[in-house]
Amino acid sequence: MNNFYKCSYPTQAVLVTCNDKNGKANVITLAWHSTISKKPPLYGICIAPSRYSHDLIATSKEYTINFVPFTLVEKVNFCGTHTGKKTDKIKETKFTLEKVDNIKTPIIKECYAHLICKLFKTVKLGDHSLFVGEVLNVLFDEQAFSNDLLNNDKIKPCYYLGDNNYTTLDSTRKRF
C-alpha cells in the first residue's frame, strides 16, 4: 500500500468553513479530523499549509465543522478538489450559509450537524498543521439524532474511501 492512511479509510468527509479577511466564506472538505478532549471540548482538524483554508484559519482563528449527508456527495467532492484561491466554492455549490452566535464564520445549512470552533492551539506535525478548535457550540438537526446518537437508519453521512471515492453507512445497529 503506497499510502498508509488509506487503510484507515473510510473516515467521514466533513465540510469546514472559514472566512477570509473580508468576511467572505470558503469551504474545504477534510477526511483527517477527530475529537481530542471532552473538557475543554476540543476537536482537531489536519490541513496542509499549501491549502487556501490553512492561512485563513491561522488568521481568523475560527472555523465551523459541518457534517454532511451523502446526498450532497458531489458537492463534498467538489469542495475537496477545488481551491478557494481560484474558485468561489460557496457560489458554485450553492450552499446556504447561516450566521451563528459566538463567531463570524457561518455554518452550511444543508448539513445535519455543526461544531462552532474557536482556535485553541496549532500544532505543526509533519507536513500538516493540526488545528485544535475549542467547541463553543453545537448545532444540529433534531431529527438526525435520538438520545444524542445518530439515527443511522435515516441519516446517511458521507464517508471518504480515498481517490475521490465515497460511501455511506448501512442501517445496522448493534447495541450492548
Told to check if 140 binds a second copy by CB under 8 A, we report yes
Q: x-or-dash pattern for a second copy, window 47-76, by CB under 8 A?
A: ------------------x-x--x--xx--
User: How far apart (Å, rounded) are the C-alpha atoms in residues 156 and 75?
Assistant: 15
Nearer residue to a second copy within complex by CB, 3 or 22: 3
Q: What are phi and psi of 78, to 5 degrees?
A: -60, -45
In the complex, least distance from residue 101 CB atom to a second copy, rounded to whole angstroms: 15
Near a second copy in 82-111, by CB under 8 A? none
Residues 6+ apart with CB under 8 A from 114: 64, 65, 66, 67, 100, 107, 108, 138, 139, 140
Q: Choose the stretch contacting a second copy; rule: CB under 8 A; options: 19-27, 52-60, 94-102, 153-161.
A: 153-161
Q: Which residue, 77 or 83, is less far from a second copy as judged by CB?
A: 77
Which residue type is seen at 111? C
Closest approach of a second copy to the CB of residue 52, in Å:
19
Site size with a second copy, rule: CB under 8 A: 72
- Are the C-beta atoms of residues 144 and 69 closer than 8 Å to each other? no
- In this structure, the chain runs to a length of 176
